Amino acid sequence: MATITIDGKEFDVDDTENLLAVALSKGFDLPYFCWHPELHSVGACRQCAVKSYRNDEDDKGMLVMACMTPCSDGGRFEIDDEEAAEMRRQVIEWLMTNHPHDCPVCEEGGECHLQDMTLMAGHTQRRYRGPKRTHKNQDLGPFINHEMNRCIACYRCVRYYRDYADGDDLRALGSHNNVYFGRESDGAFDNEFSGNLVEVCPTGVFTDKTLGAHYNRKWDMQNAPGICNHCSLGCNTSPGSRQGVLKRIQNRYHGEINHYFLCDRGRFGAGFVNRDDRPRQPLVRNADGVLEPREMDVMRDTMEEVFAQANGVVGVGSPRASLEDNFALRHLVGADNFTNGMAPADSAASVAARDAIAANADRLATLREVESCDAVLILGEDVTQTAPRLALSLRQSRRNKHLEHAAANKIPKWHARAVRDIGQYNNSPIFSATTSATRLDDIVMTPQRLRPAAIAELGFAVAHALDNTAPKVEQLDADTQALVDAIAETLKGAKKPLIVAGTSLGDPAILKAAANATKALAAANEATRLFVTLAEANSLGMAMMEERDIDHALTAVEDGSADTLVVMQNCLYERAPKARVDAVIKKAKNVVVLDHSMTRTVGEATHVLPSGSFAESDGTLVNNEGRAQRFFQLFIPDAPMQEGWRWAADLAEVAGNKPEWLGMDDLIKTIVADCPQFAGIEDAAPSQSFRKFGMRFPRSPHRFSGRTAMYANVDVRERRPEVDPDSPLAYSMEGYYGEQQPPSTIAYAWSPGWDSNQAAITRFQDEVGGHLKGGDPGIRLFAAPGAAAEFWAAEVTAVDGWQAVPVYHIFGSESQSARAPAIAERMPKPEYRVNAEAAKALGVTAGDSFELAVNGETHAFPLAIDPSLPDRTIGVPVGMHGVCGLRLPVEVKP
Amino acid sequence: MKNAAQNAFSATSSVLRTIGMTFMHSFRKRDTILYPEEKPYLPPRYRGRIVLTRDPDGAERCVACNLCSVACPVDCISVVKTEDETGRWYPETFRINFSRCIYCGYCEDACPTYAIQLTPDFEMGEFDRQNMVYEKSDLLISGVGKRPGYNFYRVAGMSVGGKDKGQAENEAEPVDIKTLLP
Ligand code: SF4
Ligand code: SF4
Ligand code: SF4
Ligand code: SF4
Ligand code: FES
């Protein structure tokens, strides 16, 4: 702690921080460019000048860069000093000399940090009349637009992309005044976190191309607090829309999860919401086998008939739908006829994950906490592809070594360049065992490529090496034993070791091994952490709600105990082999599907009810740390579309089983009453009737424009503002917006003078880069277990022969984002992968078309050689190109 | 007593003087004109009917920046941006609900391209309010309006059809990033 004086006011501040961060935390308006709360200080832009005084007698002071000034005790600083202000004004004037006259046609306009800083620093009149330097742009692929003229050479982009995200293909090229930020040649960025450049770059050099395609200013968007539904991490997002069209996804700050950054799947994967082929009204298959639209009231009678004729109804829930949607379906079909909609392997692994999480509830790392762990063991998970944002956090965890060196040499942690230089290539250790090479291998110590069973064995062996009461693994060869001992030794020596495991290999043994290792480590080190990833946005929620997987539903139809299937936002073909699903659909009298996308199952259904996607509904998702988070409806669709749970309630009513709940709040209460494991979800967001100062919370910024004209072509009389029956948010700019708002209801970030997303959020944080005022949103459902769990037995199911293992890809393996045009463009070509030896054994060479039957489904894809795969192991692309992959790994006979 | 008499006198004479002045007006030239047969003179900067103008090259000036719509205090302008194949921004929709417009001229003040201009035409009465909704086709004129010379894209740094990087006013040739020369 230190006491410093800023503009005559005294503050008690953290002495490990720099003056700029502290001043911003204390609410001062001080312009800056090159500093960023996650990238820290380099003192390059010279924009944050303030006056520093040596002591009380000093009346001259000297100009210093706030971002490079430590807050030492007794410091006296002036922001509001004439000389400092003049310096800031001159710096920006000089940064602007080459700036193009672009604001009206710049996608950044209205949320541009450069615009804000120009105004804040008081540069209001252009004086420079000389020629401006210009640059040619590059085509950076479907995600990002490039307009180099607008660059002010703050170096934030390369510091984020290269130093933070470990990307390699964005560089500062050229020299002095000609410096250019781009790739060596045209092409999409290689790094999976490139989308953050859009927010990190303080100017309009890098902008969101998917937004540009149907552009709106920030002030014109209707936003909602969203939860990314493209993996289990539950990053917070702020989707923006106008007139019922989803425009973009922006980061929404969450101090424990994603903080300032998203992955590209989350940022660019929402385009499926705008697809024309979405079902937008109730459909019924007619006698010719064609789906045709029905009016709502006619549909009601039709559905009454369906349920009256039904001879046994089974429900298929979904790990990508909310708790509310799933619970409503469970009510409709009855708890005994409800299944969780996961493929068996996925379900078993998710249940094991749930148990590992429950047993280690007090040791679960948040995504943010991962960054502070100084030794990591990853078991089985190719995190970049299955839980992408985690990879970015793990990349920070290895820098703990740099910070350690820095601290030993009295270098402050915010001194970015010095910390890097002293850290050099000394990284905190990360060990990883996966089925093939991963994108994290560059920071992993001796990456291991093993089959799933061997990965589990490695985990069990590490646990045993740490604590010999943990079950032993027999017959480990000497090399493996040496590796196990080295890993155990390193983890033991760490201040805060972390075990990462997940469900992507569909093997519960891996989760059990991770739980054992965590328990073994924790006995000696309280700070031990576990991080578990699951497949989909609500996989953990579904594992908590129901253990029966999709096989039970299919079997019920096959054995004749049911003849009607009700499917909630799920595609059977993604979870079970095609032949089996085809047969079940053929045998069932009716297949009723509630979904928002044109899936293969919708294409085969007899009745389709258009349920809302995340943009058209409210709901609760449980992320991988057991955090229940609410997402809010973005806009009211211009079609007879409603939330899955509303459809399910309507169906229950016509089926003679009218639910008692009346609205969202009521439904949530019923869920908690019926399934006590979800106690707490009611506090994930304020109730519908909650008001601040008697007001709702706005979805749109206060200068939302065009209200009396945007629908005037239809009717010159303005529409009545829509009323939200499910949440305390308003479908307008009216209401209370500010620091006293419950954080879960903040739909967008803005504060006076600060329009850019990453800077405006500062006013809502307890300190810059910290937690949101009022607490980070979401409720963690798992409490610390009463007694320590027993070790799991070290049992693995090894396959001797050929084995098919899943190969995931960030762009394509998740079904919803795969429907977004931008993501589809980046989806890899389908291929089977084997190592060279296996290819020889199979008698095929690279590029040959290769036919393989997996789970009774045969696909022919070209073969690719991947030397990293273990012997007799075939990598199968999952979730893409019609492969139902979530039932892997399995034994195959090629 | 004396004051009361004085007051009464001055009040009466003021009234008489006013009546006299009013009477004298009957001999003055009329200010009222016989509208609509006769039209008044309105200065070019009069704030009446809004038009969208073109640049000196005949292309649409409006770049769909939405600054007019955000400046509008009654929110009666709705603009939807689109691009042509060369990357030039222009409005796909440009709609003004004149039944809401208060002719304040803020939109014209806000416009960075001189596209939107208020004109001295005020004859916009309609029997049906719906007819007061003007689309781009109703607003776009073929001339430059009050601002003859200005062409935004000649000044801006974006490359658009017919103008590449380095070809705008006061721009240097694009930087060759491969050169090692200073
Ligand atoms: S980067 Fe900012 S200041 Fe520059 S043209 Fe774009 S909006 Fe204007
Ligand atoms: S491209 Fe953006 S982030 Fe990079 S140096 Fe230029 S202005 Fe800064
Ligand atoms: S890491 Fe997962 S939750 Fe986060 S943005 Fe990416 S896909 Fe979404
Ligand atoms: S301010 Fe001018 S250029 Fe911008 S949208 Fe309005 S009319 Fe068009
Ligand atoms: S922010 Fe301090 S020098 Fe750039």
Cβ within 8 Å, pair A713-B95: yes
Average the pLDDT over A542-547 and give the result: 97
What secondary structure letter does DSSP report for A160? I
What secondary structure letter does DSSP report for A164? I
Interface of A with B (CB under 8 A): 100-105, 109, 129-137, 147, 149-150, 173-176, 178, 180, 212, 215-217, 219-220, 703-710, 712-713, 715-717
pLDDT tops 90 at residue A797 = no
Cβ within 8 Å, pair B171-A709: no
Average the pLDDT over A697-709 and give the result: 96
Pocket test of ligand 3: the residue of A143, A193, A228 to mutate, having most ligand atoms within 8 Å of its CB, is A228
Concatenated DSSP letters of A754-784: B-SHHHHGGGGBSSTTSPBTT--S-EE-PPP
* Residue pLDDT, tens place only, B13-53: 999 999 999 999 889 888 888 999 999 899 999 999 999 99
For residue A48, the ligand 5 atom closest to its alpha carbon is: 2
Cα–Cα distances in angstroms (integers) from residue B18 to residues B12, B13, B23, B31, in the given order: 10, 9, 8, 20
Pocket test of ligand 3: the residue of A143, A198, A237, A258 to mutate, having most ligand atoms within 8 Å of its CB, is A258
Nearest to A104 among B67, B159, B182 (CB): B67
B contact test, residue of A97, A98, A101 with most B CBs within 10 A: A101
Label residue B1 by pLDDT band (50, 70, 90): low
**Angstrom distance (rounded) from CA A267 to CA B5:** 88
Look at chain B and report how many structural domains it folds into. 1
Pocket test of ligand 2: the residue of A115, A146, A205, A756 to mutate, having most ligand atoms within 8 Å of its CB, is A205
One-letter amino acid of A564? T
* Residue pLDDT, tens place only, A588-632: 999 999 999 999 999 999 999 999 999 999 999 999 999 999 999
The runs of H, that is alpha helices, within A43-152 are 82-95, 113-121
Cβ within 8 Å, pair B81-A216: yes
For residue A269, the ligand 3 atom closest to its alpha carbon is: 7
Burial of A314 (0-12, 13-18, 19+ CB in 10 A): buried
**Whether residue A889 has a cis bond before it, omega within 30° of 0:** yes
Average the pLDDT over A648-652 and give the result: 95
Would B171 be classed as within a structural domain? no
> Chain B closest CA to A132's CA: distance in Å?
5
Cβ-Cβ contacts under 8 Å, B176 against chain A: 178
Q: How many angstroms does the Cα of residue A135 sit away from the middle of ligand 1?
A: 15
Label residue B176 by pLDDT band (50, 70, 90): confident
Measured between CA atoms, the residue of chain A closest to residue B87 is A105
Would B150 be classed as within a structural domain? yes
Ligand closest to A155 (CA) is 2
Cβ within 8 Å, pair A703-B135: no
Give the closest residue to A95 by CA, choosing from A183, A200, A195, A177: A177
Q: Which residues contact A508 (CB under 8 A, 6 or more apart)?
A: A348, A349, A351, A352
Q: Is A664 helix (H, G, I), strand (E, B) or coil?
A: helix
Would B84 be classed as within a structural domain? yes
Nearest to B132 among A134, A703, A716 (CB): A716
Cβ within 8 Å, pair B175-A135: yes
Would B63 be classed as within a structural domain? yes
Indicate if the alpha-carbon torsion angle A92, A111, A226, A593 is positive or negative. Answer: negative
Would B173 be classed as within a structural domain? no
Cβ-Cβ contacts under 8 Å, B83 against chain A: 212
- Mean pLDDT, chain A, rounded, equals 94
For residue B114, give its domain range: 50-155
User: Residue B115: CB within 6 Å of ligand 4?
Assistant: yes
Beta bridge partners of A377: A431, A499
What integer pLDDT is reported at residue A69 of this predicted model? Answer: 96
Would B17 be classed as within a structural domain? no
Cβ-Cβ contacts under 8 Å, A716 against chain B: 97, 99, 129-130, 132-133
Cβ-Cβ contacts under 8 Å, B175 against chain A: 133-135, 174, 178, 180
The closest residue, in CA terms, to atom 4 on ligand 2 is A157
pLDDT tops 80 at residue A640 = yes
- Poorest-pLDDT segment among A15-19, A30-34, A718-722: A718-722
Q: How many angstroms does the Cα of residue A709 sit away from the middle of ligand 4?
A: 15
Burial of B153 (0-12, 13-18, 19+ CB in 10 A): buried
Cβ-Cβ contacts under 8 Å, B91 against chain A: none
For residue B69, the ligand 4 atom closest to its alpha carbon is: 6
**Angstrom distance (rounded) from CA A527 to CA A493:** 12
Give the closest residue to A818 by CA, choosing from A886, A881, A888, A887: A881
Cβ within 8 Å, pair A131-B170: yes
pLDDT tops 80 at residue A10 = yes
- Poorest-pLDDT segment among A324-328, A614-618, A828-832, B2-6: B2-6
B76 appears as a binding residue in the annotation = no
CATH at B85: 3.30.70.3270
Place of tokens 């034993």: A481
Sheet containing A2-6, strands listed edge to edge, beginning at the edge strand earlier in sequence? A9-13, A2-6, A76-78, A49-53, A62-65
One-letter amino acid of A369? E
Would B19 be classed as within a structural domain? no
Q: How many angstroms does the Cα of residue A150 sit away from the middle of ligand 2?
A: 8
CATH numbers and ranges of domains, chain A: 2-96 (3.10.20.740), 346-361+368-383+417-534 (no CATH), 803-891 (2.40.40.20)
Residue A34: both structure tokens together: 């090159």
Query: What predicted TM-score, i.e. pTM, was given to this entire model?
Result: 0.94
Average the pLDDT over A334-362 and give the result: 94
Q: What are phi and psi of A63, to 5 degrees?
A: -80, 130
pLDDT tops 70 at residue A886 = no
* Residue pLDDT, tens place only, A89-142: 999 999 999 999 999 999 999 999 999 999 999 999 999 999 999 999 999 999
User: Residue B113: CB within 6 Å of ligand 4?
Assistant: yes
pLDDT tops 60 at residue B152 = yes
Would B162 be classed as within a structural domain? no
The closest residue, in CA terms, to atom 3 on ligand 4 is B62
What integer pLDDT is reported at residue A296 of this predicted model? Answer: 87
Label residue A274 by pLDDT band (50, 70, 90): very high
What integer pLDDT is reported at residue A749 of this predicted model? Answer: 97
- ipTM associated with this complex: 0.90
Beta bridge partners of A452: none
Q: How many angstroms does the Cα of residue A182 sit away from the middle of ligand 2?
A: 10
Label residue A885 by pLDDT band (50, 70, 90): low
* Residue pLDDT, tens place only, A839-849: 999 888 888 88
* Residue pLDDT, tens place only, A452-469: 999 999 999 999 999 999
